[in-house]
């Protein structure tokens, strides 16, 4: 009997929350996770079921989950989360958690935008309501033809949608409701509609990872988004630091004041803010704020440029450990510029994807001195119902941005990897 193909694809175990229980001792003089782990710190990702129990806050469930986290060989000293969720669990695991008010604020978009306005940081005009044709009509009338819709209680890209002016109200409503279902977002969640800041030829988007210590800004890493896409969930395939776009560089002198006002609005004594901003009609507007480092290789890039690992700074703030100010002041980056990229195999080459071909690339990446981090995902299949793909996230450092981009291209071009979002939208969304 012929063999039957079976789809064994499944989510990675415990992949629904990036929350880690932290054990041992954190040396306050270190500035990287690797150094911290070498000097007595360890962490273990909290299993999904235990994390859900902690996040209920129910005493019986919390006690059982805490027993599972008990390790007799080293003490539990707190926990750290690298996305915007599970804040009840983190409050349980971190007594007197200093980040709690800020984390609550940034996951309440109307309150966040109001606070930013109070501190004179520019944000897009917005309104809040239940998703319906009536609400969509109100949003269009008040905000323009292509408002951005997102859950008012959310963070990140889940449930984010730009209204399509080529569709009528009913079609937009049906599509957005499906996006909410796909993101497992309760349809009763209030929705915030914000004006789309894209009707300006000089509009540009950046992100900033800002390290704060003793209420002062210590290090800021600015990434220019070179290939921000207009498809859900707004994947940014190429980012460079420092920016080189002349429109962005001409407006960088405004940035310190905007960052200062944003930091004052969020009000954390220490930690990391990931701030998304858009230049619109010559002024920086805050799009979103996370009380955490940027995702993916953004933190690696920030570390390469500043010498401070924002993941370590965020961990220290989470567990209530004050990093040594002398170490922070003496930190020096290894690279003056970085480029980080998320690549996919171009459509015409998908059927040629084979593991042995990309293992050669993996060897080159391991040996390249300027590589600051990478992740290669290769799937080799012969069944025609599946589309073989390869995805690579990679970051490189260099003396300048042009050299960083040249180094990236020299590594990637022989392998038919592309950042062309037109030909890879399906794989980008799928992954």
pLDDT at 236: 57
Task: Write out pLDDT tens, residues 24-69.
Answer: 999 999 999 999 999 999 999 999 999 999 999 999 999 999 999 9
Tell how strand 390-398 and strand 371-378 pair up.
antiparallel
Task: Write out pLDDT tens, residues 336-369.
Answer: 999 999 887 777 777 777 788 888 899 999 998 8
pTM to 2 decimal places: 0.91
Q: Which two tokens stand for residue 339?
A: 């480029």
Task: Write out pLDDT tens, residues 90-146.
Answer: 999 999 999 999 999 999 999 999 999 999 999 999 999 999 999 999 999 999 999
């Amino acid at each position: 009997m012929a063999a039957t193909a079976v789809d064994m694809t499944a989510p990675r175990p415990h992949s629904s929350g990036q929350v880690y229980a932290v054990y041992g001792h954190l040396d306050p003089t270190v500035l990287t996770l690797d150094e911290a782990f070498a000097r007595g710190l360890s962490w273990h990702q909290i299993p999904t079921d235990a994390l859900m129990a902690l996040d209920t806050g129910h005493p019986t469930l919390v006690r059982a989950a805490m027993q599972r986290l008990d390790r007799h060989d080293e003490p539990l000293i707190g926990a750290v989360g690298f996305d915007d969720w599970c804040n009840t669990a983190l409050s349980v695991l971190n007594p007197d958690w200093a980040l709690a008010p800020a984390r609550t604020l940034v996951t309440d978009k109307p309150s966040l935008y109001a606070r930013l306005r109070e501190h004179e940081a520019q944000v897009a005009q917005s309104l809040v309501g239940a998703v319906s044709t009536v609400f969509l009509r109100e949003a269009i009338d008040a905000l323009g033809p292509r408002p951005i819709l997102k859950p008012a209680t959310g963070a990140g890209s889940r449930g984010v949608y730009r209204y399509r002016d080529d569709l009528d109200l009913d079609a937009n409503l049906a599509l957005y409701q499906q996006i909410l279902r796909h993101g497992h977002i309760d349809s009763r969640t209030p929705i915030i509609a914000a004006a789309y800041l894209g009707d300006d030829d000089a509009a540009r988007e950046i992100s900033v990872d800002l390290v704060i210590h003793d209420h002062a800004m210590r290090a800021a890493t600015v990434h220019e988004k070179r290939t921000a896409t207009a498809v859900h969930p707004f994947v940014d395939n190429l980012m460079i630091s420092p920016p080189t776009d002349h429109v962005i560089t001409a407006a960088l002198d405004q940035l310190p004041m905007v960052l200062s006002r944003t930091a004052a609005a969020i009000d954390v004594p220490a930690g990391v803010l990931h701030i998304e901003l858009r230049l619109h009609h010559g002024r920086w507007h805050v799009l979103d704020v996370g009380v955490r480092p940027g995702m993916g290789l953004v933190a690696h890039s920030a570390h390469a440029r500043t010498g401070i690992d924002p993941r370590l700074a965020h961990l220290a703030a989470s567990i209530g450990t004050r990093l040594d100010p002398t170490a922070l002041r003496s930190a020096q980056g290894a690279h003056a510029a970085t480029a980080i990229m998320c690549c996919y195999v171009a459509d015409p080459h998908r059927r040629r994807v084979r593991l042995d071909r990309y293992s050669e690339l993996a060897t080159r990446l391991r040996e390249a001195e300027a590589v600051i981090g990478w992740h290669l995902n290769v799937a080799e299949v012969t069944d025609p119902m599946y589309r073989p793909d390869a995805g690579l996230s990679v970051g490189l450092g260099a003396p300048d941005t042009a050299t960083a981009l040249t180094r990236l291209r020299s590594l990637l071009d022989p392998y038919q990897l592309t950042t062309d979002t037109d030909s890879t939208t399906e794989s980008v969304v799928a992954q």
